[in-house]
Amino acid sequence: MTQSQTNPHPTPSAASLVSVKDVSMVFPTGTVALQNASLEIAAGEFISLIGPSGCGKTTLLRLLADLIQPTSGSIRVGGKTPEEARKSRAYGYVFQAPTLMEWRTVLQNVMLPLEVMGVPKAEHKPRAERMLALVGLEKFARHYPWQLSGGMQQRVSIARALAFDPQLLFMDEPFGALDEITRENLNLELLRLWRETGKTIIFVTHSIPEAVFLSTRIVVMTPRPGKIETVIPVDLPQPRNFETRETTRFFEIATQVREALRKGHGFDVQE
Amino acid sequence: MLSRLRSPNLVPMLAVALVIAALYYPLMLLANVPVAQRALDSGAALPCGSALECATQLRSPVLPSPQQLWTGFANLLFPLGSPNAIPRNAAVTALETLVGLALAAVVGFFFAIGIVASRAFERSLLPWIVASQTVPIIAIAPMLVVLLGQYGVQGWIPKAIIAAYIAFFPIAIGVAKGLRSPDPLSLDLMKTYNASSWQTYLKLRFPASLPYLFTAFKVAMTAALIGAIVAEISTISFQGIGKMLAENSRASDVVATWVIMIASAVLGILLVALVGWLEKVVTPWKR
């Protein structure tokens, strides 16, 4: 009994930007990190992968990014294999930690991908400055990372991921280490960025409210073995704001996610 | 008065110096009094009355008295350019040390890249590198000088090479550790950019290794200085701190030997401070 038979979540069919078909990932230790996962993502979506530790959400993201390779199944990113997509620099990746280079100023950090990718030198500075303005950090261009708070550092890393204008943004619990207040602010900012830039975002999180607030669809994942439990569409109207969190519909969807997690014994998620 | 010193780091250093000075004096007396007593008993013509008084004036003291050290410094520091004074010889030794360190940096850097880039390199060569460091420098120095002499390499250059010989090891190990220091996520980040191996070195591994490089430099600097001095002592030398040490110890001039020893310690402190200063200039992002 495979996952794809019991729960055929794939919805957007014709023009999927990301297509995951029956993908499994077994680590050399024997851990089944992901079992028969299938998922279709259309351009312009904001997808959250939610679930407790060990449910394979980070694994799935790393598979899409070609940072690891699946044991079986097939993945397409923008019609290409993950490796081709990575080599054609099709996506930006934001990690759990800001991973800024301490020897570079904020501006130089945002310029890093442009330097690596051979963008004409004259464009580096103006583009990096534009990205910093997008995340509201233009005043901190000359600071070193250690002079910034954790939330600001993570914003720099988002600006860096956007600097080379990829269609796709992979975000692996980017706000996981931040306090609730900073996190809610950054959620709002991220939604604004998503609307303004029209990117497709795949976002890994531990937090139900964060997933409901941000997503167009929520992929609920459960552990041991890691698998996709269900996919829940989020029909909250755009643009969303602080009041969105107070609506009945918000709580209904949050409850739906919580129940799906409980069904898959995945209930050690942070509220 | 101490608060007027520009660097606050000097205060604790001077405090330690004071403690050492306070402890040194009684220790010196304890060591010298029996010798002075024996000299008095043997009826030697001494310009002093009691053993306690003579203890600070012995020609060959066990430990020189502060007054003797002071006079010794006064005698050995001037004239500045004299071939028998400390400044000129210290400059030669410093040159050997610095050239040796530069040489060690180049060689150490290549070894570090080899160690990081290739397991085979590490497995095949690292044991030999370790072995090379266990050979006593005092044994290998004269042979190296003979060998280099065959090819007309003479004077201070062989000493610099010997300094490099013992200084490249801490640099190689330190830089290898630094090149491996970037966290896995940073390496993943470079991978998502499809960065080449060279770009990963240039943009990530080299800059990340700089703090390790300077720590290694500090260790290597003291090693190089010892290497240079030992090389001067164990080979034919016409200049350098090592040559002065060898000469004065052959002449049983205890006071001069102590003075030169202290001078070489000061030279070591200055050279390591130079690395610290360079580190501040090269890594301005550090807090």
pLDDT, residue A225, reads 86
Final residue belonging to a domain, choices A111, A138, A165: A165
Residues of B in contact with A86 (CB under 8 A): 191-192, 194
Beta bridge partners of A203: A48, A171
Q: Quick check: helix, strand or coil at residue B200?
A: helix
Residues from A contacting B (CB-CB < 8 Å) are 65, 67, 86-87, 89, 91-93, 95-97, 99, 101-105, 112-113, 115-117, 144, 146
Residues B44 and B94 in one domain: no
Residues B136 and B240 in one domain: yes
Q: Which of A95, A102, A103 sits opposite B189 (nearest CB)?
A: A95
Q: How many whole angstroms separate alpha carbon A157 and alpha carbon A106?
A: 9
Q: Quick check: helix, strand or coil at residue A48?
A: strand
Residues A76 and A110 in one domain: no
Q: What is the CATH number of the domain that holds B210?
A: 1.10.3720.10
Q: Tell me which DSSP letter residue B96 carries.
A: H
C-beta atoms surrounding A43 within 10 Å: 15
pLDDT in tens, chain A (271 residues): 344 344 445 555 556 889 999 999 998 888 888 998 899 999 999 999 998 888 889 999 999 999 999 999 999 998 889 999 999 888 999 999 999 999 999 999 999 999 999 889 898 999 999 989 888 888 999 999 999 988 899 989 999 998 988 989 999 998 888 888 888 888 998 998 898 888 999 999 989 999 999 999 999 998 888 889 889 999 888 888 888 888 999 999 999 999 998 887 655 544 4
pLDDT, residue A6, reads 41
C-beta atoms surrounding B213 within 10 Å: 24
Contact at CB, B186 and A101, closer than 8 angstroms: yes
Residues of A in contact with B195 (CB under 8 A): 116
pLDDT in tens, chain B (287 residues): 444 445 567 888 889 988 988 898 889 888 888 888 888 888 777 777 777 888 888 888 888 888 888 988 888 888 777 888 889 999 999 999 999 999 999 999 999 999 998 889 889 988 888 888 888 888 888 888 888 888 887 788 888 999 999 999 999 999 999 999 999 999 999 999 999 999 999 999 999 999 999 999 999 999 999 999 998 888 877 888 998 998 888 888 888 899 999 999 999 999 999 999 999 998 888 76
Contact at CB, A97 and B207, closer than 8 angstroms: no
For residue A140, give its domain range.
95-165
Q: What share of chain A is helix, strand, coil (3-state, %, to 5)?
A: 40, 25, 35
Q: What is the nearest CA distance from B280 to chain A, expressed in angstroms? A: 13
The verdict on residue B70 lying in a domain is no
Q: How many whole angstroms separate alpha carbon B35 and alpha carbon B18?
A: 27
Number of domains in chain B: 2
* Cβ neighbours of residue B33 closer than 8 Å, sequence gap 6 or more: B51, B52, B55
Give φ, ψ of A81 to 5 degrees. Answer: -70, 160
For residue B137, give its domain range.
86-282
Residues of B in contact with A67 (CB under 8 A): 188, 191-192
Give φ, ψ of B280 to 5 degrees. Answer: -65, -35
Residues B171 and B270 in one domain: yes
Residue B172 tokens, joined: 């190689």
* Mutation target among A84, A103, A115, A143 for the B interface, most CBs of B within 10 A: A103
Residues A7 and A100 in one domain: no
Residues A73 and A174 in one domain: yes
Tens digits of residue pLDDT in A128-164? 999 898 888 889 999 999 999 888 999 899 999 989 8
Q: What is the nearest CA distance from A248 to chain B, expressed in angstroms? A: 39
Residues A59 and A108 in one domain: no
Outline where chain A has alpha helix (H): 3-6, 57-64, 82-87, 106-116, 121-134, 150-162, 180-197, 208-214, 248-263
Q: What is the CATH number of the domain that holds A68?
A: 3.40.50.300
Residues A73 and A204 in one domain: yes
Give φ, ψ of A266 to 5 degrees. Answer: -105, 30
Q: How many whole angstroms separate alpha carbon B6 and alpha carbon B25?
A: 29
Residues A183 and A149 in one domain: no
Q: Which residue has the tokens 């980017």?
A: A174
Final residue belonging to a domain, choices B63, B97, B114: B63
Number of domains in chain A: 2
